[in-house]
Structure 1
Amino acid sequence: MSVGEYGLVRTPTARNGTEGDVIWRRVAAIILDIVVIGIASSAIIGVLGQIRLGVLGNLFGLLIGFGYYIYLEGQYGQTIGKMALDIVVVTEDGDPIKYGPAAIRTLLRIVDVLPAFYLIGFVAVLVTDRKQRLGDIIADTVVVRAGEPGRV
């Protein structure tokens, strides 16, 4: 991640061909993202629970989780975890991803996370040539090392 002029976050370029180098960075990024989502969701669930809207809080927590990945990856190619670990999601051609592929990747997390702890996704990353989880395969994306900041 890079902060450009006027404090705007800039999307990094991709260092194509580095998808095999980032497997453990991806694992660490997922852990960081789960912590960030957990903190935000817990705060909202706690507040809504205090006013007897706990069920609604759970729905908001789910929306925060999905929205977090779709917005950050669709806008910047990176979540907070990926920013911290200097990796970026791009198309298989190395171009920045858009909201559509980010939404596909996010929805397929439901399968990738099965049966627990992202086991299906992790196995897929280990056995595919481009180190893609199922969400990446369907969305035609890869995760690579981030290069220098590109567009705003």
Structure 2
Amino acid sequence: MGTEGDVIGRRIGAIIIDIVLIAIVSSVISGILAQVRLAFLGSLFGLVIGFGYYIYLEGTYGQTVGKMALDIVVVTEDGDPIEYGPAAIRTVLRIVDALPAFYLIGIVAVLVTDRKQRLGDIVADTVVVRAGETGSMR
């Protein structure tokens, strides 16, 4: 189908939406924990929320809230729905893709790869396409 290159702007928008949502939820939880003198757990919960958000939503639906809003979906390179394993791989490698700042490695990878994949996509054998355009991708 070759739609991977058509979603670069949508991917950036989805990342921004997702980061804002995670930051809001993490801030609320950190604030609550600070009130009960457990502020030291705030960072840990923020990390768990961030990882859990991506793994659960992409593993279950192939989309985060940001991807849903911008009508894109993560699928296998064959166009099938992804599962929790590839979702977890993509999520863990967000750490590398985000380096050194502002997802620079991920953006460069998307710009130079034929299927417009960031490092997490390459390792997990996934691509991001417009929703509804799944199916045989090879």
Instruction: Let me know the Cα RMSD of the aligned residues.
Output: 1.2
1:22 aligned partner, one-letter code: V
Superposed counterparts of 1:1-152, under 5 Å: 16-147=1-132
**2-structure distance, mates of 1:121, 1:110:** 10
Alpha-carbon shift at residue 131 of structure 1 (Å) = 0.1
2:99 aligned partner, one-letter code: L
Tell me, which stretches of 5 or more residues in structure 1 are unaligned?
A: 1-15
1:144 aligned partner, one-letter code: V
By relative contact order (CA 8 Å, sep 6+), the higher-ranking structure is 1
Alpha-carbon shift at residue 58 of structure 1 (Å) = 1.2
1:35 aligned partner, one-letter code: V
Question: Percent identity, aligned pairs only?
Answer: 82
**1-structure distance, mates of 2:118, 2:40:** 31
2:131 aligned partner, one-letter code: A
Q: Please state whether the residue corresponding to 2:132 is helix, strand or coil.
A: strand
Q: Which protein is richer in strand relative to its size? A: 1
Alpha-carbon shift at residue 92 of structure 1 (Å) = 0.3
The C-alpha deviation readout for 1:53-105, integer Å capped at 9, x for no partner, is 11112101110000000000000000000000000000000000000000000
Residue-pair matches, total: 134
2:44 aligned partner, one-letter code: L
Alpha-carbon shift at residue 28 of structure 1 (Å) = 0.3
